[in-house]
Amino acid sequence: MLLLTMLIQILLLTAFFWAAGTILLGILTGKRKTKLIAKRHSFAIIVCAHNEENVVGNLLTSLAEQTYGQAGYHTFLLADHCTDATAAIGRKFSNVTVWERNIGARTGKGAVLRWGIELIRKETGNKFDSYIVFDADNVATPNFVEEINKCFCTGAKLVMGNRKALNPYASIISSWYTIYWQTVDCLYCRPRSNLGLAAIISGTGFAFKDELLGSEGWNTTSITEDIEFSMGQNLKGVFAVYWESAVFYDEQPTNLATMLSQVRRWCTGNFQIAAKFRKPWWKHFCQHPNLKLIDNFIPIFLAVMFGFYLILNFCWLFYNGAQDVNPFGLIDIIWWSFLYILSIGVSYGVIKYSTFNLNRMLPGILTSGIYCIIFSLIAVYSLFKPVKSWKPIEHGKVK
């Protein structure tokens, strides 16, 4: 057990130094200059929704007000087994087509995307060369579609937008999420974009060219269809580009129960992706070695390893206790205290240089280490009790 713990520690430290190195180099490098080849792409905007009457109107309004010009895009609202006014709200907008899915059992977002994209292709032919995917609780900035078009004009085929929290001060939970997504933006996406490394698609606010789907269409099976799609494209040599100026807002969970449910799904999905892609990834990497492949697999690797590492730490504590050795030695206390303080420092830094109010975010900053601890515990729990099916998040009315 000691040998296994040391091995995982070495792997985690290696991943940590890789991540720290990319952050440092990315900050020092600065923003990359890109060349644009002027072209107007045609976008099918897909909104997957299940009983989203409280929030979907905000998104559809923001899409109707895009500066790109409505001739260049059309919104498709996929109302999946809705029993409320979601579909009726969608039909109030002239540039929105509403399709209701009521056949069979309600499934995850991946199945809805497969159904919806197949319908779009069947009903519109080759009208749209690109897709944008939103969740119903999002709000797009007026130039979002225009910015995504600019990114495609650089030659990108898969694009991740810049996610911001819609309700950062609603609760301590939404503050934690706000800090999390700001950290992803400042310390993951932006430095990697500066270095020319790849982004990872995360749930919503992303776009892709129709050519990536081929004849089979959307074809994901895990409960984290976003990461699965992204990893599948990586093995085809296509990597996501982070486009910072394509900003959208995303409503964050406000209570612990919803947070636990969502993070369990994330962790379970990471385990599924790691299991599905470990062999194909290694085979592809041996044939086509690429730093982007390594960099994109590290977050998934870390999610899995942290779970195992925490289990081994608990085993080590029990073992020391059985041997009459103080399981909570000074080194352990210093180590965990350092990690907690580090999380506060990182949280303070990323929020200070954001548009969010620092004073109102302070409770979330000071308790941000708790979010990390909960995340680690859920990762362990999900190893033994993985999520069996996708569950939607209930949304309140956010103005």
Q: 178-196 in b/e burial notation, b at 16+ Cβ within 10 A?
A: bbbbbbbbbbbbbbbbbbe
Residues 6+ away with beta carbon under 8 Å from 375:
263, 267
Q: What is the pTM of this model?
A: 0.87
Rounded CA-CA distance 385/343 in Å is 27
Q: Which amino acid is at 217?
A: G
Nearest CA to 393 out of 222, 218, 266 is that of 266
Kindly list the averaged pLDDT for each block of 10 residues, start to end, along the chain of length 399: 66 76 84 82 96 95 95 95 95 95 83 94 92 96 97 95 94 94 88 88 92 90 88 92 94 93 87 87 90 82 64 61 56 62 80 86 90 83 77 60
pLDDT, position 121: 95
pLDDT, position 351: 86
Token pair 């080194």 in the structure block, residue: 331
DSSP assignment of 297-310 equals HHHHHHHHHHHHHH
CA angle 297–177–116, rounded 5-degree value: 65
Other beta carbons within 10 angstroms of residue 142's beta carbon come to 13
Rounded CA-CA distance 160/155 in Å is 14
pLDDT, position 83: 93
First to last CA, the chain: 52
pLDDT, position 161: 95
Q: In what order do the strands lie in the sheet with 206-209?
A: 96-101, 73-80, 43-49, 130-135, 206-209, 158-165, 241-250, 138-140
pLDDT, position 318: 62
pLDDT, position 67: 96
pLDDT, position 24: 85
pLDDT, position 349: 82
Can you read off the two tokens belonging to residue 297? Answer: 């697999």
For residue 100, list its beta bridge partners.
Answer: 79
